[in-house]
Structure formats: C-alpha cells, structure tokens
Amino acid sequence: MVSNSQGTENIQFQTEVSQLLHLVIHSLYSNKEIFLRELISNASDANDKLRFTALNNNSLYGNDSELRINVDIDQEKKTITISDNGIGMSREDIVDNLGTIAKSGTKEFLAKLTGDAAKDSNLIGQFGVGFYSAFIVADKVTVCTRKAGLNANEAIEWESSGESNYTIKNITKDSRGTDVILHIKKDEQEFLSDYKVRSVITKYSDHIAWPVNMQKLISSDDKQEKASEKASEKEYEVVNKAKAMWALAKKDITEQDYIQFYKHIAHDISDPAIWSHNRVEGKTEYTTLLYLPQNAPFDIGNREQKHGLHLYVKRVFIMDNADQFLPNYLRFVKGLIDSNDLPLNISREILQSNAIVNTIKNALTKKVLSLIDKLSEDQDKYASFWNEFGSILREGIVEDFSNKESIAKLLRFKTTSSKSEDELFSFADYLARVKNKQENIYYLTASSYGTAKSSPHLELFNSKGIEVILFTDRIDEWVVNHLDSFEGKKLQSITHGELQDDLLGKEQDDLKESKEELKPNIEKIYKVLGNKVKSVRESKRLTTSPACLVADEGEMSREMIKILEATGQPAPKALPTLEINCKHPLIKKIIAEDKEEQLNDWINLVFEQAILAEGGLLEEPGKFVSRLNKLLLQLSA
C-alpha cells in the first residue's frame, strides 16, 4: 500500500480480482452492452439498501428522499456516468467491495478456469460479473461515493484502469450515493450515443423499480429558448417503465394491470384465461407471474418451438424463452420468474444444470397444475382450454411420472355416456357413476369417435350399462400405456385379453357348458384363417356382432400398431385373436356349413368384417368385395 502526499493510496487488487477482470474483459466481448445492466442493477440495489436501512432511521434520507438512477453521457469527456442516491460506500466498504471478492466459491470458480476463452465464457455464467463488467467498454473507471449518514467531506474516490491496481482518495461530494464514471474506450464509442444507451436501458431495465433518468433531448427549435433560460439546470426524463409490476403487493395491482402485462409479454391480443402471482420466500426466493392463455398459437404442436418464461434476476431482465423452469408439456404457459438467488450473468447452458433452477421447476410445475385445476372449476372455460391445450397437457402423463395423478385429474374424454362428441368427462365423473363392485375403469382406444362408438367390443358393456371411456386422440395410446390406474382403480382396455370380471355374471357359466362341443368348430375356423390369427375363441363380449379381434393382455394394442404402421415406424407383428359370437346367425351358419369352398368364404368374410369394424385396413380389399358379392348372389338366388 503506497500513500502519496495528496493522501492518494495505491492498492493492489486481490489476485482473484485480477483474474476475474481479465476473464470478464476477454470473454464477454460478444455481449458488451451488459455493463449497463450490471451497473444499473448495482445502483438499484444501492437504492433498495438505503430504503431498507432508512426504515429504522428515516433521517438517512436527509433532504433527498426521491430515490432514482441517472445516466449521463458527456460527449466531450467521452464518459458515461451512472449515478444513484442510494446507500453509498465508506472507505472500508469500497476496499471490501471493489478490491476483493468476498463471495464464497470464487476461488473454486477461478480454479476451474481453463484459459480457453470459449469454455470460460460459459463458466462465467455461473457467476455474477457485476461491477467489473465496466471494464468491457471503459479503459478507466472512477467511482465517487458518499455513504448515507456521512458528511460531504467524508466521500471517497476510487479509480482504476482495470489492471493490477486501483487508487483511493478522500474527496468532497455534495450529494449522497454513488457516481460510476466510465471513460469509454476509443473503439467502444458507439455507447456514447444517446439512442443506443436508451435502447439498452429499455431492453434490460424497464422493470427496475426505480426511475432511470436521462437528460431530455432538446429539439433544435427549443434549443435557443432553453439555453436562454437556465443554462446550468439539466432537465431529465424517465427512460424505463420504472415499475416491476410483479414486485408490487397484490392489492396494488388491478385486474387490468395483469391483463395488460400479459399482452405485453405474451404478444397475445386476447386476454389470458387465468393467472397466478406468487412470492416465495425462504431458502430460495423468487416471484412468479404465470398465465394460461386462451388460445394456442398456431405452431403449438411443434415441440421445437421457442417457449418458456421471461427470466429476471432481482428485477433485471435476463432473457426470454427461459424454458428450463417448466416441463415441456406445460410449454403453453406464459409469464415470468424473478429470482433473487441466480447470478445476473447466468447463461442458458448453466440454467440447464443449476440446482436452484430444478427446485424452482418442481415448484412451478405443481403451481401450474393447480392453476389448471382451478380453471377446471369453470366448465365452459375449461372445455375451451382443454380443446386448445389438452393434447399437450396429456403428454405430461408420459413425461412427468411424479405428477401423474394430478395430471390424470385434469384429463377430459368422451365416454359411452357422452351424448355427443363435445360432451367430455373426467375420471372423477366416471368414478361417481360406477355401480356396485366394478373393479376397473374400462376404456377403448380408436382412431375416431365414430369407430369407437360402433365398436363390437362395446356390446356387452352397453348391454350391462357399464360406462367405457372412448380415447380417440392419437397420443391417448401412449397416455394409457403410462397410466395403469386412477385412484386405485385399474385402467383396463376392453380390447385386450379375456374379460375376467364378476360383471359378466351368468354368461360365463353358459360359456363353460358350450366349450366342449364348440372345440371342433373353433379348430375348423382356425385352420381356414391359418397364419392370420393367433387363435380363435368364443367371445364373452359380443351380443350383436358375429366377431371381433382382441389383443393379448400386456401386448401392444391393435390401435397402437395401426398408428405405428401409419407413421412408418416399425411395429411388432402381433397376430390378433379372433373372438366369435356363437349365438350370432352367421356363426351358426358357419358351424353348420359343410361345403369347403363356402366355409372358406364365410370365415374369411367374418374375419375381414372384424378388421373393418375396428377401423382397420384390409390387406386385399378387392378379394373381400368379390367374396361378399359372391355370397350375396348366392343368398338372393
């Protein structure tokens, strides 16, 4: 430490500061404008701290109680000055804050540096660059500061050219707070443009709670008049919005405020469907403002489309499309998160692996699910929400194991009780109607409502008055594969396996008796169909159709195989089981038939009908048509 005759001390930076300075200057060249964000953020913090400290000591305000931030450009001196009337710094403060790095973990951070600028610039995202970013654009930085409560002659000037040392001396400063004066480098003089600085401020600091002022631009007409008035008086105007709406108390925010803010950040002309504004305090501190839109953007189905929340750190805008805070299946949610814990300089890469981000993501997921649940109390609103976003929300059953139950509650679907395609029900509705001892929740997947409604598989259920869920969205196949139960009741496909349920009652006993005498007939049919089916058996589920196709329990559903084939993906070649309804006249006819050619035609026709009834495609439709015609002509002859 050297002290010269004027009382100027020359002090070496702590080693870590020198390292950090070097890193900041050499790795952040592609995003230079952030220095303004960092310095305005510090000024804002300083004002926050004064406001907080003055809560117990109102005299700290003196006669200067309107806290603000000024940004001045001096074209002649080639400087930008960021000044606040906040807490200020004492000599001790400034040595601690601008000469050493107090933050824990800094040493470990610096030890990880590789010297490779690209890798290091990524690493620095974990770490607030803060004040030192001034040296990205300045070759000298002067800080004049006077701590709140100290006298004018107790102010301090700190100065450095960002190398290995800085100087410190006592000065006199009329007003409380801190001026940071940047002597702009020769090749960074674009930052001396009033327009440039204003646009950077509105980009990053709109929602800083304090007004950020700049000198009014005076048009050439006004110039003379004004100059003749008070030449020394500067006229300022507020450049930022100066209102972090989400930081206000809820009681001070109107419904219109919320709606206008939504339109601003979501670029949507419609009102939001519902929103939720929350402040979380404790180990991690953040505020969120989450909106559910009314309408889906046209490209919502595209999973690659940019989405996500606006991220703020301490009310400073950091980035939009921060998609790390919500799972993919909630990608329709709009809004913002303002964190108190993340560093201002956080990068997208770091967000991906940050532990705080993960904690927040889990909490926000639950928050959004309960917001959707709340919306579901309004049936009409929820119907339209479901219509817009249901197929995306459904992805959550597959994607988010831990919230499966809550997502399942939000699902809506048609059932055999729906009076039209538009009448949707929830699992809760279904369970409320379940009669006596029904153990399962029954469902059917099909490619359309029409196919589902007329499926032969429904016959027994319809006759017994047992409700069946009709899943008709492509993604439903995946959904039901990941959802085996709801509130303890098993989800059971009605097209899978043999029906084993006490629901079947008497029919089961009838079947037992007929089994033996049917055997040779079943073998006869199986022989004709040969490699087209896995087996043939008597059906317990048909009342009016002659036959249907069934997949084995645990096997991929026939609907899923159809979907995979249609999208050109490899599907397992699982043969169906043909179930026949022995009470049906057609089957009786087959059993009685003894001419081999006729028998072949009838059996193939019944099999092909079963494929058509489930909305499937025939391998040889031409053969089906000629077979059918031949039999029709025989009948009419």
Site residues (CB under 6 A) for ligand ADP? 38, 42-43, 45-46, 84, 86-89, 97-98, 128, 130-131, 178
Query: Whose CA is closest to 464, among 493, 424, 435, 500?
Result: 435
CA–CA dist 213, 4 (Å, integer): 38
CA–CA dist 637, 634 (Å, integer): 5
Nearer to ligand ADP, 98 or 330 (CB): 98
Cβ at position 205, least distance to Mg ion in Å: 13
Cβ at position 240, least distance to Mg ion in Å: 17
SS3 label, residue 236? strand
479's tokens: 């959904």
Nearer to ligand ADP, 95 or 586 (CB): 95
Strand order of the sheet with strand 577-580? 535-538, 577-580, 547-550
Binding mask 16-55 for Mg ion (x = CB under 5 A): --------------------------x-------------
Q: Which does 89 bind (CB under 5 to 8 A by kind): Mg ion, ligand ADP, none?
A: ligand ADP
Q: Which stretch binds Mg ion (CB under 5 A): 123-131, 247-255, 443-451, 502-510?
A: 123-131
Nearer to ligand ADP, 82 or 336 (CB): 82
Our finding on whether 616 is near Mg ion (CB under 5 A) is no
Nearer to ligand ADP, 87 or 123 (CB): 87
155-160 — which CB contacts under 8 Å span 24+ positions? 156/89, 156/90, 156/91, 156/94, 158/94, 158/98, 160/13
Nearer to Mg ion, 42 or 240 (CB): 42
Q: Which stretch binds Mg ion (CB under 5 A): 130-138, 140-148, 209-217, 443-451?
A: 130-138
Query: Whose CA is closest to 319, among 300, 340, 338?
Result: 338
Query: Whose CA is closest to 291, among 353, 242, 341, 245?
Result: 245
Nearer to Mg ion, 125 or 130 (CB): 130
Nearer to ligand ADP, 130 or 335 (CB): 130
Strand order of the sheet with strand 485-486? 414-415, 469-471, 440-445, 489-493, 485-486
Cβ at position 207, least distance to Mg ion in Å: 16
Fill in the DSSP letter of residue 518: H
Nearer to Mg ion, 19 or 42 (CB): 42
Q: Which does 87 bind (CB under 5 to 8 A by kind): ligand ADP, Mg ion, none?
A: ligand ADP
Cβ at position 134, least distance to ligand ADP in Å: 9
Cβ at position 83, least distance to ligand ADP in Å: 8
Our finding on whether 130 is near Mg ion (CB under 5 A) is yes
Q: Which does 390 bind (CB under 5 to 8 A by kind): Mg ion, ligand ADP, none?
A: none
Residue type, 193: S
Cβ at position 179, least distance to ligand ADP in Å: 9
Strand order of the sheet with strand 316-322? 274-280, 286-292, 334-339, 309-313, 316-322
Cβ at position 439, least distance to ligand ADP in Å: 60
Cβ at position 85, least distance to ligand ADP in Å: 10
For tokens 């702590």, the residue is: 14
CA–CA dist 384, 539 (Å, integer): 40
> What angle (nearest 5°) sits at the alpha carbon of residue 107, between those of residues 104 and 109?
90
CA–CA dist 473, 534 (Å, integer): 28
Answer for the pair 278, 171: CB distance below 8 angstroms, yes or no. Answer: no
Residue nearest to Mg ion (CB): 130
Q: Which does 160 bind (CB under 5 to 8 A by kind): ligand ADP, Mg ion, none?
A: none
Would you tell me how many other CB atoms lie within 10 Å of the CB of residue 180? 24
Contacts of residue 499, defined as CB under 8 A and 6 or more positions apart, other chains included, come to 460, 540, 541
Residue nearest to ligand ADP (CB): 130
CA–CA dist 292, 632 (Å, integer): 58
Cβ at position 228, least distance to ligand ADP in Å: 36
Looking only at the bridges linking them, the beta strands covering 309-313 and 316-322 are antiparallel
- Longest CA–CA span in the chain (Å) reads 127
Cβ at position 129, least distance to ligand ADP in Å: 7
Nearer to ligand ADP, 51 or 589 (CB): 51
* Helix ranges, 400-505 (H): 404-410, 427-433, 449-453, 459-464, 476-481
Cβ at position 24, least distance to ligand ADP in Å: 10
Cβ at position 117, least distance to ligand ADP in Å: 21
Q: Which does 97 bind (CB under 5 to 8 A by kind): Mg ion, ligand ADP, none?
A: ligand ADP
Q: Which does 493 bind (CB under 5 to 8 A by kind): ligand ADP, Mg ion, none?
A: none
CA 155 centroid distance within chain = 48
Nearer to ligand ADP, 38 or 477 (CB): 38
Cβ at position 41, least distance to Mg ion in Å: 5
Q: Which does 43 bind (CB under 5 to 8 A by kind): Mg ion, ligand ADP, none?
A: ligand ADP
SS3 label, residue 166? strand
φ and ψ at residue 92, rounded to 5 degrees: -65, -45
Q: Which does 211 bind (CB under 5 to 8 A by kind): Mg ion, ligand ADP, none?
A: none
- Number of residues in contact with Mg ion under rule CB under 5 A: 2
* Residues near Mg ion (CB under 5 A): 42, 130
